[in-house]
Structure 1
Amino acid sequence: MNLKYHGKEQSLYFISSESGTQQLWKMEIDSREKYKLTDSDQNIKNFWIEEDHITVATDYHGNERNQFHKFDGKDMITLVDQPDCFHHYGEYDAGKDMYTAIRNHHASSSFELCSIDGAGTVAVMGEFEAPIHFIHELSEGQLLLSMDVNNVDQMLMVFDTASGEVKELPFPQARFSSFKFVRDTCLCLSDLGNGFKNIYEIDLEDGTYVKRTGFNWDIEHFKLSKDDRTAILSCNENGSSLLYTLDLTTWEVVQMPFKKNGVIHSLSIGRADDVFLIYSSVDQPHCIYRYSLDRKDFELIADNLPAEEVSWRMASYSSFDGTEIPYFIYEAESGHGAVIHIHGGPESQARPEFNALYHLLNRAGLCVAVPNIRGSMGYGRTYLEADDREKRLDAMKDVVELRQHLIDTDHADSANISVMGRSYGGLMTLLLVTHHPDLWTAAVDIVGISHLRTFLLGTPPWRRSLRAAEYGSIEGQGEFLDDISPLTRSRDITAPLMIFHSHHDSRVPYTESVQMAEALAKSGQDAAFTAYENEGHTFMHQENIDDMNRKIAEFLIGYHTKG
C-alpha cells in the first residue's frame, strides 16, 4: 500500500504485510532489493516522506486513533501520544519543524485544527463541528480546508490562522480530492458536473470552475509529472483501472498500454520518465510495476507468489425495477453452489482485485459472485443515492435478484446459495437472512450492523450525523430503522450463521455483533461467533485473516457439500 517515491534517494517506500503485520518497507530501484525498515508492535497505517525524516502513523490494535512518530531510518521517536484522540496528517514545514494536523477526541464531535512542533507540543488553532481535511496553505496563514457535510460530500473553505475566521468558498457541495497547484491554476478531482469524478480547474476567488476531462467514470489517481506539463490518471471504469496521460496545455487524454482487468491501488511519479504503481487483479496478487513515459513500456519490479488462474468475468443483471446491476463472478464447474459477497460502505465498490478468500472458496468448487448493488460508488450520483434511507430494502432486493440470476444462468441451484459480507455488507447479509430466511444455505457476517438504531447511538457523534444521510436519523426514520433491523427479526433466521468482529472497531461497535450472537444463543439458533482481541474495523494481522478465511471456507464448503 501507499507507494511513494523518494526523490533524493531515488528509492521506493511502501507499506507491506509480508512479515505478518503492516510495516514500512523500502526498495532500491536499481538493484530491486527490498527490505523491512520498521518492526513496530502496532501496524503502520500511513507515512509521509519529509526532508530529513519520515513521519509514520500507527494506531492501537486497529482502533484508527493514529499517533505520529518520527522515523530517522533506524528508530521511531514518538511525536504525538494521545491515545484517546484520532490524528489526521496535514503537512510538515521543515523550516519551522512544525506540523499542521487535525485532532478529534473519540467521544467528541469537535475537530481541532492544530499545530504540532518538533517536541510534540500541540496548539489548537480552530475548532469545527464536523470532520475537516487539510488541503493546502494558499499563503502565509491562509489554509484551504474541506469539511464533510454528509457521508459523501464536502464544502470548501479558507481558514485564517491569525484571526480564526472561516471563509466558505462559493462552490456546490461535492466530492473533492487530489488538489494540484500548477502555474497559478488550481486543479482537483471533483464530481461537480455529472456525478463522476473528473479533473476541474477551479477559481478559489469567485467559485467558478471548468471541467477539463469528460469521463463517465471516476478518476481515482491524479499525479503530475516532474515538469508539471503532463498528468498521469488512473480511471476506475466499471471497477477496473485504466491508465491515461493528460496534456495540461491541450487537455488531450491518451490511454496508456497497461493491463485492463485489475486495480491500481497506488501510483507515484519517479524520475522524469518513470511511473510506479501497485497493481493486482483477480488472479494476480499485489505487485509493483514501473512504466517509462519515454519508452512507453512496463516492467515488473516486485511481485508476490503467483496465484492459480481462475475463470472470471464482469457481467450485469436486471434487478426488480429494471436497474442494471454490475457484478463480477468467479465461475466454478463442480456444482457445489454459489456464494454472494456484498462489499462494505455502502459508498464503496467491489473491484476485480486480488482476494485470497475468494480464491480459497473458488478452489474448493464454489462460484463466487460479487455485486455492486445500488448505493455503490463508481456509477454516478443517481446510483449512489438509490439506496438512501427508506430505499434501503431496494438494495437488499438487488441481492435477491442476483440469487435468482445465478439460478437462471445455471451457476447454482436454488438450494445451494449462501451470502456473506463485511461491515455494511454484514448488515445486508443479516437483512437477507431475516427478511428472506428461506433463500440461503448459510451466511457469514463480518463486523456487520445488527440494529441501525443501536449502531447510530453507539457510533461517535460526528459519524452519527453523517451516516444519517445514508441510513436515516433516529428522529426522522426511527420506526423504519427498528422495523427492518435484523436484531428485531433475529428469530426468523433459519440459515446457519457465522459472525466475526473485533474489540477495537471504531466504526461499527463490537456490541453490534455481541447482541446478535446473544439473541441467537438465547433462542437456540445455529450461530458461531469469533472475536479478535487485537483488530479494528479492518483486520490487519495476517494470522487473524488466515484464521478467519479458514473458518469461513470450512463453514461454507461444509454446508454446500452437505447440500
Structure 2
Amino acid sequence: MNPGLIPLVVSLLWTQAPAPAATPAAAQGAAAKPSQVPGIAPLPGQPNVWVSNVPPVPDALRRRMEQYLESRTAALSDASDDGKQLLITTRFADTNQLHVVEMPMGARTQITFAKEPINRAVFQPGDANVVYYLQDKGGGEFFQVFKLDRRTGRSELLTDGKSRHEALRVSSDGRWLAYAGTGRNGKDTDVYVASTSEPTKARRLTELEGTYSPQEFSADGSKLLVQRFRAADDSDLFVVDVASGERRQLTPSEGKGSVDGATFTKDGQGVYLVTDRYSDFSELYLLDTRTAPTAQPPASLTKSVRWSVTDLALSPDGRKLAVAFNEDGYTTVSLLDTRTRALSALTTLPKGVGGGLKFPRKRSDVLALSLGSARSPMDVWTVDLKSRKPTRWTRSEVGGLDTEAFVEPTLVRYPSTDGVQVPALLYVPRNTGGKKVPVVVSFHGGPEGQSRPMFSNFTQFIAGELGMAVLVPNVRGSDGYGKAYRAMDDGVKREQSLKDIGATLDFIASRPELDATRVGVSGGSYGGYMTLASVAFYPDRFKAAVDVVGISSLPSFLQNTQAYRRDLRRAEYGDERIPEVRRVQERISPLGSVDKIRAALFVQQGANDPRVPQSEAEQIVQAVRQRSPDVWYMLATDEGHGFQKKPTRDYAQMTTMMFFEKHLGPPQAPAPK
C-alpha cells in the first residue's frame, strides 16, 4: 500500500529532500528579505514569490499555457462503508481539497476550504459525516491531524500543532485512530493511538529510537501492524497489542528487506506482507502471527508475476485480496482468492498508472482505486468484481484540450556502464516535419523513485507547443526494476550512477529525430541534484537546466536536512561524517564543480522546505553567478518541497517554458537533400 503515490502527481516534476540551515521566510519578519541572493525582489501581484533575474512572462506565452495550467487530477482517499460515497482530493481553486462524490460522474461536493492543500484523509467507519485528515502550513510538512464534522463544517485540531505527523489510520470497527508523530523529541517518530471517542487524548504505543509508522489494524481493532524504517528500502514489521503495547517482530532481525505493504487476514492470525526480502522484486507472502520469524523464505503468492507488488487491499469478507503490480511502469491489478490462492488479472481496467486500492468496509463486491495515463489525468474508478466492469467516477479536466492530441510515450532502453540498461520514456512531438528537435531530459526525485507514464502538463506542453522532445530516464537507483537495480547508487556507488547521464546523452545522439546539440535538463529534489550534476559533469553537452528544490552539495544537505529524516537519508547517500565517504560526496557534488558549468541555469526553491533546505539553492545560485551572472532564481516563501499552490506552480511552469524556449530555440529547418 503506497498512500504517498497519488498526492505526488500534483507536484509535477518535483519530489524528495529538507531544511533548518535556512530560517523559513515566515519566521523572519515582514521587513526582512527571505533570501541572501542579491537583487531578489517580490513579484508584482504575487508577494509570496521572490525572483532575481527572471524576466516577465510574455502575454503570448501565458495565453498558450492557460489551458494546460487548468488541468487537474482526482485521487481516491477513502470509500464510505457502503461504497456509495467516495472521498477524493482534487483542486477547483488554488489547492487540493477534500470532496465527496456520491455517484459515478456525479458532482464533486467540496467539504474543506482551506488555503493549504489537503491530500490525505479517511472516513470514520460507521459515520461518513466524520473525516480525519492531515494538513501542514506553508509546505513545511509538519502535518497535523484534524477531525472534520461534515454536519457543522467545522474542523478540530487533534494534535499538538507543532510536531510532524503522518500515516493516518482508523480501525475498521471505528474505535481507534493511529498515526505517527515526532512529538517526543523531534527526532524519533513514534506511533500514537487514540480512542475515536476522545481523539485528542492520544498515547504513544512506541517510545523507541528511530522511525516507526502504523500500517493497519486487525479487523477487531485489537492489534496494529507497525513498520520500523532503517532506510527507505529496509524495514521491520511488528504486530503490537493496542491495549498493552506488547509487540512481536514478524520479519527476521537478520538481513535486509523492504516492507512495501501489509494487512491482516480477516481472523487476525495471519498477515499478508509485500517485501523484496526473499526476491529481487517485491512479492506477496502470508505470515503466521503466532510463530516466530524465520530466515527461511515463505512461499510467494505472486511468483508467477516477475514485477513488484505495489499495493494491496483485503475484502471485508477476507476472501479476495486485490493486488497491484508495477509492470515496467504500468499498473496491473489482480485478485487473489485467499482460499485457493489463485491469481486472476482484472484485464478490463484501462492501461495506465494507479494505486490507492480500497474496498468499502461493508462490501466485498466492489474495488475502488485511482487510475490515470500519460494522456489522461489521474481519476477515481470502481470495479464491480462480479462482472469485472470498471466504472469511472470522475473525469478530470485538461483545460478543454483534446487529450487525443497528447503525446503517448515510447518505452526505450539504452546501455550504460557496468552492463546497465537504462529504462526511459521518450515523448516525441507528433509532427516533427523531418526536423531534428531539441530535447529536455527530466529526472525524477527520490532517488528511490520512478518515472512512470502518468499525465504531466509540463511534458505535454513541451512536446505539443514548444515542439521539443522529452526524455524521462529511470537511471540506476530507480525503483520498479528490482532491488539490485535500486541499490546500484547507494552510498559511494552514486559516483558510478552519474555515468547514466552520459549514456542518456549518447542515446539522444543515436536518434535521428533528436538534436543532440540542443539538450536541456530539469528535475526536482534528487532530480534537481541530477540536473545540477548533468551541467557540472557534462558541461559541453547541455544548453539549459532547471533545478527545482535540488541538492547542490551532498554533505551540506545531509547536515542540514531535518533531524527526523537525517539517518534515513544517510542510509541512501552514505554518512558524511565518515571521511572517505565525504570525499566521494564532495567529488560528486555540483557545488564543487561550478567552474565547469556552461549551461544557462534556473533554480526554483520553496523557503519552508523541510527536506532540501533553501541554502542548497542559494549556495549554487551565488556560486555560479560569480562566473555567469545571468542565473535565474525563484523563491516561494509559502511553499516547501515543491509547489502545491496553483498561482505559484503556474508561475514556476510558465517561467520554465520561457527559459527552455529561450535557450533551446525553435526547431531547425530540415537539412537540404
TM-score, normalising length: structure 1: 0.93
Match of residue 350 from structure 1: 451
- Greater shift, 284-293 or 96-105, is seen at 96-105
Deviation larger for 361-370 or 181-190: 181-190
Verify: 1:551 aligned to 2:551, yes or no. Answer: no
User: Per the alignment, do residues 106 and 366 of structure 1 end up closer, same or farther by CA in structure 2, a change over 3 Å counting?
Assistant: farther
CA deviation after TM superposition for structure 1 residue 170, in Å: 4.8
Aligned to 2:406: 309
For residues 30 and 345 of structure 1, do their structure 2 counterparts lie closer, same or farther at Cα, with a shift above 3 Å needed? closer
**Stretches of structure 2 lacking an aligned partner (at least 5 in a row):** 1-74, 669-673
Instruction: Quote the Cα distance in structure 2 between the aligned partners of 1:258 and 1:144.
Output: 33
Distance 1:217 1:376 in 2: 14
- 2:276 pairs with one of 186, 191, 194: 191
Amino acid at match of 1:433: V
CA contact (8 A) 1:238 1:379 kept: yes
Give the alignment partner of residue 561 of structure 2, picking from 455, 459, 477. Answer: 459
- Counterpart pick for 2:200 among 101, 104, 120: 120
Whether 2:507 is the aligned partner of 1:405: answer yes
- Structure 1 residue 206 corresponds to structure 2 residue 283: no
**Cα gap change, 1:111 to 1:123, in 2 (>3 Å):** same
Is residue 227 of structure 1 aligned with residue 328 of structure 2?
Answer: no
Match of 2:187, as an amino acid?
A: S
Q: Single out whichever of 201-210 and 525-534 deviates more from structure 2.
A: 201-210
Q: Deviations over 1:27-69 (max 9, x none)?
A: 0126723221110122113111113311111111221111111
- 1:26 to 1:160, Cα distance in 2 relative to 1, 3 A: closer
Contact residue 11 and residue 29 of structure 1 kept, 8 A: yes
CA distance in 2, matches of 1:142, 1:460: 31
Residues 128-150 of structure 1: CA deviation (Å, up to 9, x unaligned): 22110123456887644221112
How far the C-alpha of 1:10 sits from its partner, in A, is 1.5
C-alpha distance in 1 between matches for 2:635 and 2:376: 30
> Residue 304 of structure 1 aligns to a residue in which SS?
coil
Once the two structures are superposed, residues 119-164 of structure 1 have per-residue CA deviations (whole angstroms, 9 ceiling, x without a partner) of 6244445422211012345688764422111232111234567776
- Alpha-carbon distance between aligned partners in 2 of 1:528 and 1:538, rounded to the nearest angstrom: 17
Number of the residue aligned with 1:69: 146
Aligned-pair Cα RMSD in Å: 2.5
Cα drift, residue 348 of structure 1: 0.7
2:402 corresponds to 1:322: no
Question: For residue 23 of structure 1, what is the aligned residue in structure 2?
Answer: 97
Cα distance between partner residues in 2 of 1:246 and 1:401? 40
1:179 aligned onto 2:253: no
**What is the percentage of aligned positions where both structures have the same residue?**
26
Which residue matches 2:345?
Answer: 255
> Residues of 2 paired with 1:549 and 1:290: CA distance?
33
Structure 1's 291 and 89: CA in aligned 2 closer, same or farther, altered over 3 A? Answer: closer
Q: Are 1:130 and 2:210 matched, yes or no?
A: yes
1:340-376 Cα deviation digits (max 9, x unpaired): 1010001010000001100111111010010110000
In structure 2, how many angstroms separate the alpha carbons of the residues matched to 1:218 and 1:356? 28
Match status 1:10 vs 2:87: no
Change (3 A) 1:24 1:114: same
Q: Quick check: 1:246 aligned with 2:330?
A: no
Q: Given that residues 3 and 278 in structure 1 are in contact (C-alpha distance below 8 angstroms), is that contact kept between their aligned partners in structure 2?
A: no
SS at match of 1:552: helix
Corresponding residue to 1:82 among 150, 160, 175: 160
Change in Cα spacing, 1:496 to 1:301, as seen in structure 2 (3 Å) is same
What code does the residue aligned with 2:318 have?
D
- Supply the AA of the counterpart residue of 1:285: P
Deviates more, 1:153-162 or 1:504-513: 153-162
Separation (CA, whole Å) in 1 of partners of 2:570 and 2:83: 47
Task: Provide the TM-score with structure 2 as the length reference.
Answer: 0.79
Q: Which amino acid aligns with 1:213?
A: T
1:83 to 1:490, Cα distance in 2 relative to 1, 3 A: farther
Sort the Cα spacing of 1:4 and 1:522 in 2 relative to 1 into closer, same or farther, 3 A.
Answer: same
Deviation at 1:311, TM superposition (A): 4.2
Deviation at 1:484, TM superposition (A): 1.7
- Indicate how the Cα distance of structure 1 residues 293 and 162 shifts in structure 2: closer, same or farther if over 3 A, else same: closer
1:321 and 1:545 mapped to 2: Cα distance?
A: 39
One-letter amino acid matched to 1:313: T
* Closer, same or farther: CA 369–107 of 1 in aligned 2, 3 Å: farther
Q: 1:556 to 1:106 in 2, by over 3 A?
A: farther
The residue type paired with residue 135 of structure 1 is Q
May I ask how many residue pairs the two structures share in their alignment? Answer: 563
Relative distance call for 1:168 and 1:545 in structure 2 (3 A) is same
More off after superposition, 96-105 vs 417-426: 96-105
